[in-house]
Amino acid sequence: MNKPCLIILALFFLCGVASAHDYWIMPEDFQPEESSLLNATFGCGHTYFVSEELPDITKFVIMMNIPDGREFPLALSRVDSKAATIPVPILGKGTYVISASSIMPSYWTSTRKGWVPLPKNKVKNVIKGGKYFKSIKTFLTAGSPSDSFKKHFGYRIELVPQKNPTALKPGEELPLVAFYKGKPLAGATLFGLFEGFNSKEHETFPIDEKTDEQGKATVKLNKAGTWLIGIKYQFNTPDNPDADYENDRAYIMFNIEE
């Protein structure tokens, strides 16, 4: 096996420790120029907005939704130990959505010797095992906003904004709907924070609530800057030999101008 292949395999192995992290796609500009090529990084970590590990890119599909409603896959231009770089073509005016979603689950099992990136029936001394799915969406606008922000992608778990997040101002509200397997997700934990918020110094996030019976929640965004909002949904799976529970998370990222 040649050296480049060994490096790629090593990166895939390293990204296994990222399964319990939070995920995001960070563009180099939330207001790109028309007819330009934008780079975005797909990363994750325990420290919000700071990519610490490479996501397991073998388990995700990366897509782009353009202002006229069309959707197509995006390729990676570079992969390192902390993130994957995604070139994003900006074709004209409107709102673009860059997304990544799990195409297969990740498994993590807690054992007496620590966490192992395998289903629980493939390891010994099991304490508990989990099955994980994620979806990530980032919104950006070139020129003037468009209605393409509200498309429901049909991911296993997904947050869909009901107003264009790229057109908001500080102090405005953003209504959201959470979905699980295409149906509104009630009673799920919703959290959100802005870049620069030190979560270690606070007991709660700036956004900390539950979705209602229709999967809806409305959040107030009091600060300009980049926001990450997520939904967490976990339930026990006693009949699954691979995992004791399933943990699903969906994220959206956007920027609010002053």
Please give the class, per CATH, of domain 3-256: mainly beta
CB crowding 188-225: b at 16 or more within 10 Å, else e: bebbbbbeebeeeeeeebbbeeebeeebebebebebee
Q: What is the pLDDT of residues 63-93, one digit of tens each?
A: 999 999 999 999 999 999 999 999 999 999 9
* pLDDT recorded at residue 36: 96
Q: What is the pLDDT of residues 24-55, one digit of tens each?
A: 999 999 999 999 999 999 999 988 999 999 99
Domain range summary for the chain, segments of one domain joined by +: 3-256
